[in-house]
Amino acid sequence: MTYVWAALAGLLWGALAGFLNAMISRKALGKNSTNALLCSNLIRTAVDLAALGAVFLARKLLPFPADAMLVATAISLSIVTMIFAFRLAGKEKKGK
């Protein structure tokens, strides 16, 4: 049961970081600048590393297995990024 709680905590933590990444990307896309997009990609990578690094560094403090939380965090980051990309692509199709 502790692995389930670890996975749920990882999914939530990754989703929060993923939504932060989506807001960063949305703001950069609104500027219509190549430099803004490049900077947003760098910031998004830093957010991903910070989210995964926080779980890794806090592994001794967590009341559940950190490996399950790390995997769930990575999965959640990927899923939220894919959802954002599909929603963005859908808006582009409607606009044309």
Number of residues that make up the chain = 96
Residue 79 to residue 55: CA distance in whole angstroms:
18
Whole-number Cα distances in Å, 87 to 20, 33, 79, 83, 91: 16, 21, 12, 6, 6
Q: What is the pLDDT of residues 42-91, one digit of tens each?
A: 999 999 999 999 999 999 998 888 999 999 999 999 999 999 988 888 87
Q: What is the pLDDT of residues 14-27, one digit of tens each?
A: 999 999 999 999 99
